Amino acid sequence: MTTATAAPARERESLGEFLLRAPAVGPALALIVAIVVFSVATDTFFDLDNLSTVVQQSLVVGTLALGQTLVILIAGIDLSNAASMVVATLIMAKLAAAGTNGFVALLAGVVLTIIVGIFIGGLATRIKLPAFIITLGTFTMLTAVSKLIAGGQAVPVTDGLLQWLGTKRYLFGGIPITYGMTLALLMYLGVWYALTKTAWGKHVYAVGNAPESARLSGIKVNRTVLSVYIVAGLTFGIAAWQALGRTPNADPNQFQLGNLDSITAVVLGGTSLFGGRGSVLGTLMGALVVAVLRSGLTQMNVDGNYQDLATGALLIAAVVVDRIARRQQQS
């Protein structure tokens, strides 16, 4: 009897409800459509090497976006993530250039991004400042720090461990896979597991949905918020390692818009900017969609300004879909 009543209800589920239940479906569809269109429109896009390159191009923003997803899930935002990452790349590269062991240099960079996370989380929980303001200030400070450390100049990276994520690769079914891609996949799986299968993950969603109700139901809201910024800080440190695997120099002028790129990936992935709803799977799709667009449009010889136009339009479309889905759910 119960199954009989449940089945028709399921059939009547509106598109909006379906998207709310599975926010990664929209971006996954967009990704598939884009890949099909570019594969038909050019004879160079659908190529195993190119698909591998596109994934490698989205690694840094994708890793930044993983941490950003967690922050946005608790209805926060991190404008300083890319700046924190750039400082970490400079610290790693400078230490290695000065003869420090590569592992120690790597650790120093990651520790820095975690400290930044503790700083932001501390201010957000103790003084109750809006994340937008804290991270805006942190962004400004970190940008200055990166230029001070580098003196405006790039630092060449020669240490094997620091480049390891980009230089080491193996073939999987004919597709070249770098260790960086493998690590990113493992990180996404790890965060997906933590969000969906652990109490911590449920707390994150609850805090993002309604912090007061979460507090009343016994969740330690402050502790959850702080833990999110710390985990996010860790992912930004690993993003720095990914960046050194990709580009041969730590350059203070790189990833100037990395913070916004990571937010774009999160929103394209169907995570709500109001918190409490979204998934890291969607973010992965979101990061890939942007890289696919860039690669495909460049190969179609489309001017860079039109590429930005397309990305922006897609972003707004994603937010519109989110809104419509919510409205349908409410009515």
Q: CA-based Rg of the chain, rounded to a whole angstrom? A: 20
Tell me the closest approach of the beta carbon of residue 69 to other proteins, in angstroms: 21
> Is residue 168 packed enough to be buried (19+ CB in 10 Å), middle (13-18) or exposed (0-12)?
middle
Chain centroid to CA 25: 17
Q: Is 182 in the site for other proteins (CB under 8 A)?
A: no
Residue with tokens 């620091």: 162
- CA dist 62 → 52, 70, 146, 149 (Å): 14, 13, 22, 26
Positions 216 through 245 that interact with other proteins (CB under 8 A) = 243
Q: Is 247 in the site for other proteins (CB under 8 A)?
A: yes
Question: Of residues 101, 196, 253, 329, which one binds other proteins by CB under 8 A?
Answer: 253
Q: Is 148 in the site for other proteins (CB under 8 A)?
A: yes
C-alpha–C-alpha distance, residues 61 and 291, integer Å: 10
Q: Is 45 in the site for other proteins (CB under 8 A)?
A: yes
Residues, the chain: 331
Q: Is 277 in the site for other proteins (CB under 8 A)?
A: no
Q: Is 2 in the site for other proteins (CB under 8 A)?
A: no
Choices 9-17, 212-220, 249-257, 275-283; region in contact with other proteins by CB under 8 A: 249-257
Per-residue burial over 62-100, b = 16 or more CB atoms within 10 Å of its CB, e = otherwise? bbbbbbbbbbbbbbbbbbbbbbbbbbbbbbbbbbbeeeb
Amino acid at 123: L
Question: Of residues 8, 99, 151, 218, which one binds other proteins by CB under 8 A?
Answer: 151
C-alpha–C-alpha distance, residues 292 and 62, integer Å: 13
Tell me the closest approach of the beta carbon of residue 82 to other proteins, in angstroms: 11
Question: Of residues 17, 22, 37, 53, which one binds other proteins by CB under 8 A?
Answer: 53
Question: Of residues 10, 41, 44, 118, which one binds other proteins by CB under 8 A?
Answer: 44
> Is residue 6 packed enough to be buried (19+ CB in 10 Å), middle (13-18) or exposed (0-12)?
exposed
| Contact track, other proteins, 102-141, x by CB under 8 A | ----------------------------------------
Residue with tokens 């390692």: 241
Tell me the closest approach of the beta carbon of residue 297 to other proteins, in angstroms: 8
Q: Are 299 and 42 in contact (CB under 8 A)?
A: yes
Task: Decide whether 209 or 298 has the Cβ nearer to other proteins.
Answer: 298
Task: Decide whether 147 or 202 has the Cβ nearer to other proteins.
Answer: 147
Q: Is 162 in the site for other proteins (CB under 8 A)?
A: no
* Residues found near other proteins in the complex (CB under 8 A): 42, 44-45, 47, 50, 53, 57, 60, 144, 147-148, 151-154, 243, 246-249, 251-256, 294-295, 298-299, 301, 304-305
